[in-house]
Amino acid sequence: MNQKIEKALKKLVTGKVLLNVPLSRHTTLKVGGCADIMIYPASLEELLTVVRFSTRHDLPYLVMGAGSNLLVRDGGIRGMVLKLTRSLRKATLLQPEDAEPLLQAEAGASLRRLLAVCLDKGLAGLEFVSGIPGSLGGAWAMNAGAWGREMGDVTESITLLTPGGAVEKKKSPGLPFGHRRLQLDPGTVIIKGMLRVSRTGKKTLAAVVEKMNRRRRETQPLDLPSAGSVFKNPPGAAAGRLIEQAGLKGRREGGAQISERHANFIVNTGGATARDILALMEIARRRVYEETGIQLEPELQVVGEDG
């Protein structure tokens, strides 16, 4: 990266500015090349400043949450990676008169922390995120979901930062949630938002969450690094079942393996590369298409350059 750009960014940001950061340390798959620069904005104001700076200098950036639905190619990422998980993570319970409560939270807040708040205060609505190891911003961007529920179902509003540096609040309905995607213009940053919750008994809520966690432990390979579901479920079918019927459970490429427990998971058994994982994804897509005519669509977000 140009040294003038690097020095200018360090003057603008009081939070951390790190160079040549291995992204294998920042994704749940534990693979990926280096980012030229990683920035931890210390506040919303710093985030605004960095995004406006990048626009002026035509400097690409990627916003990264917990890296739980992300595959970074082995060549890494040119430009900046913005990490919001150290500063923009506040959560506040709002209780309007004569209305159900709202949970206002910043994009860097972890789903685990938000669920803990709900369990502590007896608030239903977010049980389905139990066990998803991501940040709220990432969950919104991917319209994360499980057990028949997804983020679009519980979102009241989202506040966005546009590539030009403007702050906009968008309410639901009207937010363009799709299957495992929130359709936003490239470069848009999710800052915060409000989630609809409802009051319920703490014991009842805890029992529901424990049931979901138990089901995850029984059906998903939680003992090895993965990025969750690799492919979206096509209409009327389950991607994992299709891959299993194609005889690909346990198939390996290098250090990557199609999980023997759940075929829509690819796990890092040790020393896997992004190339290994991409090879398995291509094998699964090709074999399922040859046998069923169904074209699997990735749920996993793939970014960066080839090594």
Q: Confirm if 63 and 137 have CB atoms less than 8 A apart.
A: yes
CA dist 131 and 151 (Å) reads 14
Alpha carbon separation from 235 to 23, 179, 218 (Å, rounded): 34, 11, 25
Hey, how many other C-beta atoms are within 10 angstroms of the C-beta on 195? 24
Catalytic residue among 73, 89, 180, 251: 180
Amino acid of residue 20: N
CA dist 256 and 277 (Å) reads 6
Catalytic residue among 46, 127, 150, 299: 299
Alpha carbon separation from 2 to 15, 81, 86 (Å, rounded): 20, 16, 26
Radius of gyration in angstroms for the set of CA atoms belonging to the chain, rounded to a whole number: 20
Q: Is 251 a catalytic residue?
A: no
Catalytic residue among 229, 253, 285, 287: 229
CA dist 94 and 92 (Å) reads 6
Q: Is 180 a catalytic residue?
A: yes
Catalytic residue IDs: 180, 229, 299
